[in-house]
Amino acid sequence: MKAISEATLRRLPTYYHYLEIVNAEGLEYASSTTIANHMGLDPVQVRKDLQVTGVLGKPKSGFKVSELLTAIAAFLNWTNKNSAFLAGAGNLGKALIGYPGFEKYGMSIVAAFDTDPLKNKMKVSNIPILPLGKLPELAERMHVHIGIITTPANVAQEVADLMIEGGIKALWNFAPVHLVMPEDIIVENAQFSTSLAVLTRKLGQTAELELV
Amino acid sequence: MKAISEATLRRLPTYYHYLEIVNAEGLEYASSTTIANHMGLDPVQVRKDLQVTGVLGKPKSGFKVSELLTAIAAFLNWTNKNSAFLAGAGNLGKALIGYPGFEKYGMSIVAAFDTDPLKNKMKVSNIPILPLGKLPELAERMHVHIGIITTPANVAQEVADLMIEGGIKALWNFAPVHLVMPEDIIVENAQFSTSLAVLTRKLGQTAELELV
C-alpha cells in the first residue's frame, strides 16, 4: 500500500474521464505529453501521478488506454461496489439519489433516510426513504460503509453519529458544518459554500482590479 | 488586496457556519481556542486565518461574533449579489436551481439553459429554462458573471466556451471533464467523481488493513 498525495488522488478521476474520451475515439495509446497538454499539467507530473497505478508507458507510444482505465478504476476501488446510505431527502438528497453516474464510481445508494413521516411513505428513483431511527441497525445488517449527509446543518452531527454507530466508515458531507468524528472515520466535505467562497472571492477581486 | 492561501479561503465558510451557530445561541464573543477546538484546528491557525478579515480579537474575550460574521461575508463577496446562469437542466441542475441556500452565499441563479426543446417550455422553482443558444447574448445583456455547468461531460467544454463568449468570468463546473480556459477565467471544479475517488480509495485501504 503506497502513500500517495491527496492532490494526485484528486487528479486521477480527471485522467480517467479524459482516457474514456480517448478510448471512445478508438485510440489505443496516449502519451503523457498528450494527456498533460489536455489537462494543463506538466508531463513529468502526469508520469508521476500515473505511476501509482503501476501501469508503465512505452517509450514512443505512451500508455495503453484500456490498461490505464482498468488500473485507475482498480486503484480508486471503483471496481468494487460500495453500498451507501443517504440521510436527508430534500432537494439535494433527492437529486443525488436519482443521479445515474455513481455506479461507475463504485458506489450505489441502497437506501435513504429522513425524519419526515410523509417522506417515509415515498420512494425516489425506486430507493425507499426510511425513518432515520432505523439507520444504525440497517447499516450494520447490510454492511453499508458509506454515509451521505444532505441534512440541514443543525442535525448533521447527530446524523453522522448515528451513521458511525451503525458501522459506517466514510462520510460524504454536504451539510455546511464541520463534523467532529473519531480519527479512523473518513470525512470528505463537499459543501457548496466552500466552492462558492472560492468563486465569489476571486470574482470580487477581479471586479476590484477592473475599477483600479 | 491581500494574497491569501486557498486553504484559508476554503476554511472561511466553515468558520462562518460555526459562528452562525454561536450567534444563534446568543454568545457575543468567541475565542480562537474555542473556534479551534470545534473545528479540529490549531488556535494559531485560526488566528492566522481570521486575520485576513481585518477583525481583531480582544485578549480575553476573543472575537466579537457579529463583527466577524459581517467581515467574513464581506471578504468572500457574499454581501454582493452575483447573478448566475446554469446550463444543463438534468437531475443535478434542477436540484441546484431549487436549492434555497445560494442567496446567502452571494449567488442567485437567474436563468437556466438546456438544448432540450421540451425543457425550454418549463420553469423550475420559477426559473425559466431557455434554449442554450441564447446564453451568450443574455449573459452580456444581464451582466451575468457566474456560469454553472451541470451538462453531460461531452458538451461541457462547448458550453463553457459559450459562457465566456457572453462575458462570464467564473465557472462552477460539475461536469466530469477538465475545461480548457483562458487564464483569466476562474474555474472551480466540483465533480462528484473527485470526492468519491477520495472516499472509495481510503475505504479500500481500510478494508485492506483489516484483512492483514
- pLDDT tens digits, A69-95: 999 999 999 998 899 999 999 888 988
At residue A207, the pLDDT reads: 74
Does A46 lie at the interface with B, CB-CB under 8 angstroms?
A: no
Q: Residue A109 pairs with which residues in a beta bridge?
A: A84
Cα within 13 Å of Cα(A182), Cβ side: 10
At residue A210, the pLDDT reads: 65
At residue A111, the pLDDT reads: 96
Q: Which residue has the cell 433527492?
A: A94
At residue B1, the pLDDT reads: 45
Nearest CA in chain A to B79: A200
pLDDT tier for residue A36 given thresholds of 50, 70 and 90: very high
3-state helix, strand, coil in chain A (%, to 5): 50, 20, 30
Over residues A104-113, the mean pLDDT reads 94
**pLDDT greater than 90 at residue A194:** no
- CA dist A209 and A204 (Å) reads 9
User: What letters, b where the CB count within 10 A reaches 16 and e where it falls short, cover A39-58?
Assistant: bebeeebbbebbebbebebe
Are the beta carbons of A65 and A23 closer than 8 angstroms?
yes
Cα angle value A51/A53/A54 (rounded, 5°): 70
Average pLDDT, rounded, for chain A: 91
Chain B residues close to A101, C-beta within 8 Å? 176, 192-193
At residue A204, the pLDDT reads: 87
**pLDDT greater than 60 at residue A212:** no
**pLDDT greater than 80 at residue A14:** yes
Yes or no, beta carbons of B186 and A177 under 8 Å apart: no
Yes or no, beta carbons of A82 and B200 under 8 Å apart: yes
Yes or no, beta carbons of B197 and A40 under 8 Å apart: no
Does A174 lie at the interface with B, CB-CB under 8 angstroms?
A: no
Chain A residues close to B75, C-beta within 8 Å? 201
- CA dist A169 and A165 (Å) reads 10
Yes or no, beta carbons of A186 and B203 under 8 Å apart: yes
Over residues A195-202, the mean pLDDT reads 90
Chain A residues close to B16, C-beta within 8 Å? 193
- The complex scores an ipTM of 0.85
Does A12 lie at the interface with B, CB-CB under 8 angstroms?
A: yes
Distance of alpha carbon B2 from its chain centroid, rounded? 21
- To the nearest 10°, the Cα dihedral for B181, B184, B185, B191? 70
- CA dist B65 and B86 (Å) reads 34
At residue B4, the pLDDT reads: 81
Does B118 lie at the interface with A, CB-CB under 8 angstroms?
A: no
- pLDDT tens digits, A112-155: 999 999 999 889 889 999 999 999 999 999 999 999 999 998 89
At residue A1, the pLDDT reads: 45
Distance of alpha carbon B188 from its chain centroid, rounded? 8
- CA dist B117 and B180 (Å) reads 28
**Per-block average pLDDT, block size 10, for chain B (212 residues)?**
78 92 93 91 94 91 95 93 95 86 90 95 91 97 97 94 97 92 93 88 80 54
Are the beta carbons of B112 and B97 closer than 8 angstroms?
yes
